[in-house]
Structure 1
Amino acid sequence: MRSLFSVTLLLLLALTLTTEASKRKNHKGGKHDKSRPTSECSAAETQYGKCVPEQGDCGDGLREATCKDRTDKIHCKIPCNWKKDISDCKYKFGPWGSCDAVTNTKNRSGTLKRALFNAECQTTVKVSKPCSPKAKKTRGEKKTN
């Protein structure tokens, strides 16, 4: 009885190892494979559409990549924060300005560094976010209890 249990356990282990090995063998490419179109076109020849989220207004989504007469859907991601309107454009931003008491927001501007996916980008943008409710302490201040 003990030898039958040992043989069964050994066969189960061998089956598990071969299944894992076949999964690894069938996996192709690296981390960017799912976002590349499968066509033979170069990035310069490909026209990319806007990233459309699968649910809500941010998160994982799909974008169309068109080259010659072929259109593919590729995976993309829209950040869930204030950058979602400019997600295909990369900007260099300056520091945040002071808080405007009337609108309770602070602003900053950025200049275009590069456009991703041949996106049409503005050369400069201005973004705003709500002011934080607490004033930040400087490094020299200590907590008082």
Structure 2
Amino acid sequence: MRSLFSVTLLLFLVLTLGAEANRRPKGQKGKHDKSRPASECSSAETQYGKCVPEHGDCGDGLREATCKDRTDKIPCRIPCNWKKDISDCKYKFGPWGSCDAATNTKSRSGTLKRALFNAECQTTVKVSKPCSPKVKKARGEKKSN
């Protein structure tokens, strides 16, 4: 009986230590390891390529960073709800316009806030999406029976 208890305890310790070793450090949840050697190039001297997702057209991926004669692949991420052609440019968008009945779309424009990774960005962009089929009610408006 004692040997069975000892073996069970030993097995429990091994499994616990193995699970602890596989766990990521706190604060690193879902992030790539950024412990790569420091480059002698500044970010202004480095040329960055487009982010290429590993699977599909969004999510975690890699981009090339070239400086002098060295090219590294660095981790990047394309949000799944972001427009692909402006992914390295960040814009400040206004409110959505009214629905255009002819095309059944509504649009809004945005002005450039900042360009990531030395990207070539348009100063203003216009995006559109299909109109919602539901009509939203104003606050305080009650259902009529």
C-alpha separation in 2, matches of 1:119 and 1:37: 23
Letter in 1 for 2:7: T
Percent identity reads 72
Q: Does 1:101 pair with 2:101?
A: yes
Per-residue deviation, 1:86: 1.1
RMSD of aligned Cα (Å):
2.6
2:77 aligned partner: 77
Q: Say yes or no: does 1:10 pair with 2:9.
A: yes
The answer (yes or no) to whether the contact 2:48–2:64 under 8 Å persists in 1 is yes
What secondary structure is seen at the aligned counterpart in 2 of 1:109? strand
Q: Which amino acid aligns with 2:55?
A: Q
Q: Distance in 2 between matches of 1:116 and 1:125?
A: 16
> Structure 1: any 5+ residue segments left out of the alignment?
none
Partners in 1 of 2:57 and 2:20 — Cα distance? 39
The verdict on how the C-alpha distance between 1:37 and 1:48 changes in structure 2, with shifts beyond 3 A counting, is: farther
TM-superposed deviation, 1:136:
0.9
CA distance in 1, matches of 2:66, 2:26: 23
Mean Cα displacement is larger for which, 101-110 or 45-54?
45-54
Could you list the runs of 5+ residues in structure 2 that have no partner in the other structure?
none
Q: TM-score, normalised by structure 2?
A: 0.81
Instruction: Answer yes or no: is the 8 Å Cα contact 1:49–1:65 preserved in 2.
Output: yes
CA shift, 1:82, in A, is 5.2
Bigger shift: residues 135-144 or 115-124: 135-144
Of 12-21 and 93-102, more deviation after overlay is shown by 12-21
Count of residue pairs the alignment pairs up: 143
Distance in 2 separating the partners of 1:12 and 1:128: 59
Do 2:32 and 2:75's aligned partners in 1 also have CA atoms closer than 8 Å?
no
Of the structure 1 ranges 32-41 and 6-15, higher mean CA displacement relative to structure 2 is found in: 32-41
1:126 aligned residue: 126
* Counterpart contact for 1:106–1:130, Cα < 8 Å: yes
Provide, for residues 74-123 of structure 1, a one-character-per-residue CA deviation record: whole Å limited to 9, x for no partner: 22222333522211111111000000001111111111111111111111
User: Do the aligned partners of residues 36 and 8 (structure 1) sit closer, same or farther apart at CA in structure 2, a change above 3 Å counting?
Assistant: closer
Superposition map of 1:1-145 within 5 A: 2-23=1-22, 30=28, 32-34=31-33, 38-40=37-39, 41-81=41-81, 83-144=83-144
Which structure carries more helix by proportion? 1
Deviation at 1:29?
8.4
